[in-house]
Structure 1
Amino acid sequence: MQRDALRAAGVRRIYQEKGSGVGPRPELHRALDSLQPGDVLVVWKLDRLARSLKQLWDVIDRVKLRKAGFRSLTEPIDTSSPLGEFVLAVLGALAQFERSLIRERAIAGQVAAWRRGVRWGGQPRVLTDEDARELVKLRETGLFTVRMLSEIFACSESTVWRTVWLATKPSAGKLRKRGAPVLSLYL
């Protein structure tokens, strides 16, 4: 059906991928490389050309660099005319707007999750806030070495040093890692 539609549209040379649209697409690259100024790349439908908007824009950019046009038989897109350029620009703007909305919603969801206490990224915390307060108190007594505290709390010596440092340096709050105990809980 697609080949018939392309022939009926006057397409002289047809490039056809044999495999899936996922992964390398050698025939598409051959078609793009063979474009000459004034040629028009014709597709039956946009989804035959690209699997995402980014891919579509990349292909359209390559077509424009070759000073060629683009036409879809099933969508009203023909970049060889001013109206086709306009339609493509409007569709691109709508798609960009949609991507922005999706990104905005994703960020809002992450912020809401963070406020509910959901943590992600990095390694899980080794010490609870209560353990961190206890560790700092024990260290301040001077009776326990860093090695002893790391064995008592089943953590590394660097965790002990970091916990003590965060508790004793008020300016360290800016440097503390996500998920580390909050300084005000120690003091």
Structure 2
Amino acid sequence: MAKSLKGTVPALPGRLIGYARFSTVDPMTDAQVGELRAAGCDRIHQEHGSGASRVRPVLARVLKELSAGDVLVVVRLDRLARSVSHLLDVIEGLEKRGVHFRSLHDPIDTSTPQGMFSLQVLGAVAQLERALIAERTKSGMKAAKARGRIAGNPGLRERRPEAIQAAAAARNQLYLEQLTTSAQTWLPTVKQLRPQHSWDNVVQILNRRGHDWTVERLRRAVHRMVKEKLADPELLARSPRRPPEDRLMKLVAAIAIADPTLSLRAIADQLDQMGERPVRGGRRWQPSSVKALMDEAFRFGLLRH
């Protein structure tokens, strides 16, 4: 079954934001910009870089700044993504936030039923492509085994330095691509909480929202985003030291910052699920205990009215 891209509730008309990507060897930059202007784009962001990589700082910044109702516009699909799967990942992330996508030279416009249908067709093509690749890989390994050949990279088996370096570079590139693709689902929360709150608290909040981080992996991810200039170095600063008794106050504040819509009862339920012991004893947290900690957090400036 193709990857599902559920439509969102139609938002009020927003801005048309253009994105143009130019190859480092392509001097023709005016054509894309001219088409985007003619399409009515309020702003046009330009990026120079190869289509072979997902690492695009300008695109990452644009995706983060888009708001519900906005429309991201490109001249052609290949200006945005290097593959069908990458395109679907980006558009799915936009749709979850109420942002639409339009390609001027392709039948893709997620604000229309026809455009969404075309997107579903692309999803089916991507799934078929993955299935065919997997089938060819298995067949190739089976044939190689029948001929007595060992599957895998001969250079790695023989520990050749150039093969080891190439494999490490490929893993490094893949890791960065995965981070930049998923950043919009976790980096905003990190920016809200760091460095005022500890890495432990940030991880607890993210995991309560459906992620699966450890402190070590999250710190490594943020370090990499900072290195690529996709995040502020301030996120890595040491969190302020506080007495041990302030830990619960900071934790409650972190939960409230991550999701300001939570009620006192909902925060109490989260503390129970985290295995935190109530400050006043008993088996379960009560909204009154949560309120007392939040009042204290307001006094210390961790929360603002």
Deviation at 1:81, TM superposition (A): 0.6
Q: Per the alignment, in what secondary structure is the counterpart of residue 51 of structure 1? A: coil
Note closer, same or farther for the CA distance 1:123–1:39 as it changes in structure 2 (3 Å cut): closer
Comparing 97-106 with 67-76, greater Cα deviation is found at 97-106
The correspondence for 2:113, drawn from 76, 82, 88, is 82
CA–CA distance in structure 2, aligned partners of residues 43 and 123 of structure 1: 44
Counterpart for residue 19 of structure 1: 49
Which AA in structure 2 matches 1:52? Answer: S
Which AA in structure 1 matches 2:96? Answer: L
Counterpart for residue 43 of structure 1: 74
Alpha-carbon deviations, 1:129-181, whole Å to 9, x = none?
xxxxxxxxxxxxxxxxxxxxxxxxxxxxxxxxxxxxxxxxxxxxxxxxxxxxx
Q: Which has the greater radius of gyration? A: 1
Which AA in structure 1 matches 2:49? Answer: G
CA–CA distance in structure 1, aligned partners of residues 144 and 42 of structure 2: 55
Which AA in structure 2 matches 1:8? Answer: A
The correspondence for 1:73, drawn from 98, 104, 111, is 104
Note closer, same or farther for the CA distance 1:45–1:56 as it changes in structure 2 (3 Å cut): same
Counterpart for residue 2 of structure 1: 32
Deviation at 1:65, TM superposition (A): 2.2
Note closer, same or farther for the CA distance 1:105–1:20 as it changes in structure 2 (3 Å cut): closer
Counterpart for residue 129 of structure 2: 98
Deviation at 1:53, TM superposition (A): 2.1
Which AA in structure 2 matches 1:5? Answer: E
Counterpart for residue 93 of structure 2: 62
Note closer, same or farther for the CA distance 1:63–1:98 as it changes in structure 2 (3 Å cut): same
Counterpart for residue 28 of structure 1: 59
Alpha-carbon deviations, 1:92-122, whole Å to 9, x = none?
2112102211210121111011112111359
The correspondence for 1:111, drawn from 142, 151, 168, is 142
CA–CA distance in structure 2, aligned partners of residues 87 and 11 of structure 1: 23
Deviation at 1:123, TM superposition (A): 5.6
Contact 2:144 2:151 in 1 (8 A): no
Length-normalised TM-score, structure 1: 0.61
CA–CA distance in structure 2, aligned partners of residues 58 and 101 of structure 1: 20
Contact 2:108 2:115 in 1 (8 A): yes
Aligned length: 124
Comparing 89-98 with 20-29, greater Cα deviation is found at 20-29
Length-normalised TM-score, structure 2: 0.38
Which AA in structure 1 matches 2:124? Answer: A
CA–CA distance in structure 1, aligned partners of residues 109 and 84 of structure 2: 17
Deviation at 1:13, TM superposition (A): 0.8
Give the RMSD, CA atoms, in angstroms: 1.8
Deviation at 1:23, TM superposition (A): 5.5
Give the % identical residues.
Answer: 55
CA–CA distance in structure 1, aligned partners of residues 50 and 129 of structure 2: 27
